[in-house]
Chains A and B, each alone.
Chain A
């Protein structure tokens, strides 16, 4: 192995409603991390509208990339590769980043590395935890994904469990809408819960039969809706903060207990959180407490690295790049790309 100079990667992410670009050095050092969020725009519609997201990506993408290069103080000539999210996500949104990244890689004669969005979220943990190395257990929780994974090696994943229905973040969004908090549900529930009693209402903690690591969140969501209906029928007051806090506790307890089961069963005393819901303060606190009890090292990215961003894509791309992964000019967006697939 040549003991070459630093590896600089320009990473691009456009899988949902954030247009993002970053420059990352050696997979762990973020030189820039630029995110153009569309949340305000989609709030008008109560959720992400794919066509609007795609249009916004096209509008912003060059500005975001230029900003990332400028902030890092580099030009394309200094780079070693271009990394891009090619799935999973909204196909129209993904295609903008993929087409852009391919054209840049082609014109600047740089290798292209396609990255799995969830691998990006997992790899966000490498950025602030220089000591973290596989193997470790990772709980990926976001608006579109809920996965419990053993990270065997860089880019080598074993999926222990996944959600059978709603993603955790999706349940947050739906419950937030039902109790009148609106979009985006995760941060709003997190905030209002601080004022509420998490034991006010007991919502179910679902187990999936024969699949101890799998999740199901449609039950708890329905239980909230039923509870709301019940209150309205009986003319009881609906205390938004109490319902939010109780719902949040129910979801977080399941996430924590599954994750700790995995830690014990796999005998791997390292646990990382990833994905948008990983910035939920209750989940972070409960998971930290559980890890302390179980003498397990606990890792979680800062909130800015939990949300969709390109620095995490740069981190994941680096390890793929080192393994020799290169994608061609025919790289396509794969909206339902599975973790560990190439």
Chain B
């Protein structure tokens, strides 16, 4: 899966879960201020990303530093790269 496909899949999953317009998921869009998500949604976001990519995020401390959509893309890409490195 290319980076672009990963980003698209993450955006589609987040848009569906949080009833967001996919067009609003710009990399600079802040989850709290621009998209109206809050601490309750953070729990759902972890589950959605885990389901979308078949990965385990759990209580990864890096999740707390996600502020905008771009951070989320970086996080998920780093996770996938980490998994691929471990597999090889």
Co-assembled chains A and B:
no
Q: Which residues of A contact B (CB under 8 A)?
A: none
Q: B: which residues have CB within 8 A of A? A: none
